[in-house]
Amino acid sequence: MSAPEQVPVLMPVTRHMFDDLIVPTYAPSEMVPVRALGLDVWDQQQRHYLDFTSGIAVTSLGHAHPDVVQALQRQAEKLWHVGNGYTNEPVLELARELVAATFAQRVFFCNSGAEANEAAFKLARKYAAKNVQLHESRHKTKIISCVNSFHGRTLFTVSVGGQPKYTEGFGPLPADLIHIPFNDIDAARALIADDVCAVVVEPVQGEGGVIPASSAYLEALRECCDAHDALLIFDEVQCGMGRTGDLYAYMAYGVVPDILTSAKALGNGYPVGAMLTTDAIAAVFLPGTHGTTYGGNPLAASVALTVLRTINTPEFLARVKEASGVLTFLLQGVLQDYPSVFSEVRGRGLLLGMVLSEACRGRAKELTRLAEAQGLMLLIAGPDVVRLAPALIVSDAQMQDAVVRLRRALDNYVS
């Protein structure tokens, strides 16, 4: 009689496995989330946390939103993937509703914000190349972006982003990229010239410190781009999809871009990105000039369509603005009570940053760790800003709870 087959005994999954198995591009928290609903998260030890990160402004409808779950399950039983040799019904529905809701006439779907921006930058250069060839023999390849901007992690997008720490060691970098100070109209006017094919800007800088653009700045960029036949690209990967209280931030500014990129909250955690543009600009992307295997697959499109329909209502967006006022008021109270720690509250909608005082510069990560010990999940936006990006469905009670937990963390910090 043969010996019974032995079943291998697997060790429990622990945070330490990350250090042994995963390429160390991140330094995650010691706690490992395993379950979540709305803004509530539980870790392996069943400790409860209030999530004011939304997975970096991604789960804007909260974790496991029932309508999103249902959309994914329903589509998973029908059609998962067909490749770009075919189209599908969900992606056509999603494209139709995005076009109806925005300035755009055409949409390109992909899997992430970086890919959406990669497509936007390639499209801008392709459009300039075609138009220049029609009437002139000059180079029109420069792309202007802002210092401390963030547009993704591909070699092209990370180079366009204005943070040298992310490009160190990856050279040679793509050429003809210029970085100007954010919100500096004079710098923009001095450098946007006929050799520029595109200017890209975040209406609210996210990773760069949660800094809203001024209306005058975006208007000046629009004027300069029009004067020099350059395309204006708005990166709304983080600030779009209702985060500022409008479906997209450009709508409140009244400045219309030529190309807009969207991702993050578009899929509420399911990977999906989109590049929106006009008929005339999209026309230079002929079959074979750009593409993606997974972009616009039925699963992602079904989820994104549900997210878009949920967020893009007057009632939902009005509540985001109302919640922004409540949270800003509560944080101003924290600012007043802890002036040695914070110097400013800034941002738009439910993308807010608490700027550290001069004496506390560089300690944002330390503060988020102390907040986590009180059961509050927060983000940083560089070393000097604590960032809050709760789900857009956050209640007044949850905002009050978050501030109570934050105050406990600050008491430990200043003691």
Dist. CA 129–CA 284, nearest whole Å: 10
Rounded distance between C-alpha atoms, residue 357 and residue 227, angstroms: 41
Using DSSP bridges, classify how beta strands 376-377 and 48-51 pair: parallel, antiparallel or unpaired. Answer: parallel
> 265: Cβ–Cβ under 8 A, 6 or more apart, which residues?
54, 57, 58, 59, 60, 61, 240, 241, 242, 243, 307, 311, 392
Q: Which of 140, 182, 235, 384 is catalytic?
A: 235
Distance CA 388, CA 323 (A): 13
Q: List the structure tokens of 378.
A: 């927060």
Mark whether 235 is an active-site residue.
yes
Is 156 catalytic? The answer is: no
Q: Indicate which residue of 52, 121, 150, 156 is catalytic.
A: 150
Task: Note if 264 is an active site residue.
Answer: yes
Q: Name the residue among 238, 296, 317, 304 with its Cα closest to residue 106.
A: 296
- CA pseudo-torsion sign 337, 342, 344, 345: negative
Q: What is the DSSP secondary structure assignment for residue 188, as one 8-state letter?
A: H
Whether the Cβ atoms of residue 67 and residue 310 lie closer than 8 Å to each other? yes
- Out of 264, 285, 342, 384, pick the active-site residue: 264
Mark 161-175 as b/e (b = at least 16 C-beta within 10 Å).
Answer: bbbeebbeeeeeebe
**Residues with catalytic annotation?**
150, 235, 264
